[in-house]
């Protein structure tokens, strides 16, 4: 194969991995990432034009979303038997550059890597209520190891008292967020009717809305403070969920957020392999005043980055993603 052919093959392989990466979860399905492929190097950038200044003023979840895309990307590259070295930056000289991945032909995919990579196309957030069936202890141990392998850790809330404390925090978070017209305006701007041609954002069907309700939902969200109703809904969801975990990191820097996103993603992919559904209760992480209380609930060590609800139940549906041409620099 001549130089030109091998470059084309490599570019094709890296672009195929980017196609996997964009299937990652992101807050509000904002997909705040950009990729640049040059030879054997793939750069992952934050796309701050897709930030959520009200819900996520520091860009913490934006970087976490990019971390999730990075884990998807790593898995996608390994399916092509490429070895990779990952340099997680972010570098002061180029704050948008979050990670640089350099690939070379390498080991074949391991069975463990295959299992996680094969979960990518069927991972979707499921916001439905879950059955009250307890998850196997081995599964909890497994996702703990997954989170730790990527630099974070999980705290499972097992006592009734801890669950009640979490419910109080989630309800308070709902009140603070949804009673704020600016928060609601931003949220509404990302909400999409079920048949929208948009390739980003939150589609009504992911919240169980029919077509008509999905058309009305953005306007209703803008105009009405439905925090009382939402908080009761969230209370009931937590009560019906067998397992709730808090994902924590040792620090709270952009690098920690990136690693938190990779950890989150590995946990989400593992859940797919065991038919476990996952959704989020991030209000107490997102509302700054509540985060220290959530930290106490998580043992008083490190920084909570996400709260996950896990259980058996109906799978979520796939949501659109932007075209590759829109995310390749």
Ligand X SMILES: Cc1cc2nc3c(=O)[nH]c(=O)nc-3n(C[C@H](O)[C@H](O)[C@H](O)COP(=O)(O)O)c2cc1C
Residues that bind ligand X (CB under 6 A): 25-29, 61, 64-65, 68, 124-125, 127, 202, 279-280, 282, 316, 319
Whole-number Å distance between alpha carbons of 2 and 15: 20
Query: CB of 103: closest distance to ligand X in angstroms?
Result: 24
Query: CB of 40: closest distance to ligand X in angstroms?
Result: 28
Phi-psi region of 299 (alpha: psi -120 to 50; beta: other; left: phi over 0): left
Nearer to ligand X, 127 or 222 (CB): 127
Nearer to ligand X, 59 or 78 (CB): 59
Nearer to ligand X, 15 or 125 (CB): 125
CB-nearest residue to ligand X: 25
Q: Which of 34, 42, 38 is nearest to 17 (CA)?
A: 42
Query: CB of 52: closest distance to ligand X in angstroms?
Result: 10
Whole-number Å distance between alpha carbons of 26 and 237: 21
Query: CB of 244: closest distance to ligand X in angstroms?
Result: 14
At 172, list the tokens.
Answer: 């308070």
Whole-number Å distance between alpha carbons of 19 and 35: 10
CB 47 within 8 A of CB 33: yes
**Strand ranges across the sheet with 41-46:** 33-38, 41-46, 97-105, 82-88
- Beta strand ranges found along 21-120 (DSSP E): 33-38, 41-46, 82-88, 97-105
Nearer to ligand X, 280 or 312 (CB): 280
Query: CB of 5: closest distance to ligand X in angstroms?
Result: 35
Going by C-beta distance under 8 Å and a sequence separation of 6 or more, which residues neighbour residue 4? Answer: none
Nearer to ligand X, 45 or 82 (CB): 45
Nearer to ligand X, 36 or 127 (CB): 127
**Length of the chain, in residues:** 329
Query: CB of 141: closest distance to ligand X in angstroms?
Result: 24
């Amino acid at each position: 194969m001549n130089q030109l052919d091998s470059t084309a093959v490599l570019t094709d392989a890296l672009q195929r991995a980017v196609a996997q990466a964009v299937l990652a979860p992101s807050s509000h399905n904002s997909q705040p990432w950009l990729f640049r492929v040059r030879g054997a190097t793939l750069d992952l950038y934050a796309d701050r034009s897709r930030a959520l200044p009200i819900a996520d003023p520091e860009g913490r979840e934006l970087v976490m979303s990019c971390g999730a895309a990075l884990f998807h990307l790593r898995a996608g590259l390994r399916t092509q038997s490429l070895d990779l070295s990952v340099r997680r930056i972010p570098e002061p000289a180029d704050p948008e550059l979050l990670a640089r991945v350099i690939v070379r032909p390498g080991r074949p995919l391991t069975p463990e890597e295959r299992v996680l990579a094969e979960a990518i196309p069927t991972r979707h957030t499921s916001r439905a209520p879950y059955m009250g069936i307890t998850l196997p202890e081995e599964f909890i141990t497994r996702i703990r190891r997954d989170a730790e392998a990527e630099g974070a850790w999980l705290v499972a809330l097992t006592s009734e008292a801890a669950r009640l404390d979490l419910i109080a925090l989630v309800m308070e978070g709902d009140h603070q967020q949804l009673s704020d017209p600016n928060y609601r305006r931003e949220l509404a701007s990302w909400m999409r009717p079920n048949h929208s041609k948009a390739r980003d954002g939150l589609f009504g069907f992911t919240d169980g809305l029919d077509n008509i309700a999905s058309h009305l939902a953005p306007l209703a969200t803008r105009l009405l403070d439905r925090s009382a109703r939402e908080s009761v809904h969230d209370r009931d969801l937590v009560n019906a969920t067998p397992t709730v975990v808090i994902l924590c990191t040792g620090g709270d820097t952009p690098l920690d957020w990136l690693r938190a996103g990779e950890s989150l993603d590995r946990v989400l992919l593992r859940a797919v392999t065991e038919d476990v559904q996952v959704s989020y209760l991030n209000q107490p992480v997102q509302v700054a005043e509540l985060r220290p209380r959530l930290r106490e609930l998580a043992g008083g060590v490190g920084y909570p980055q996400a709260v996950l609800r896990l259980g058996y139940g109906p799978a979520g549906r796939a949501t659109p993603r932007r075209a590759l041409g829109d995310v390749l620099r």
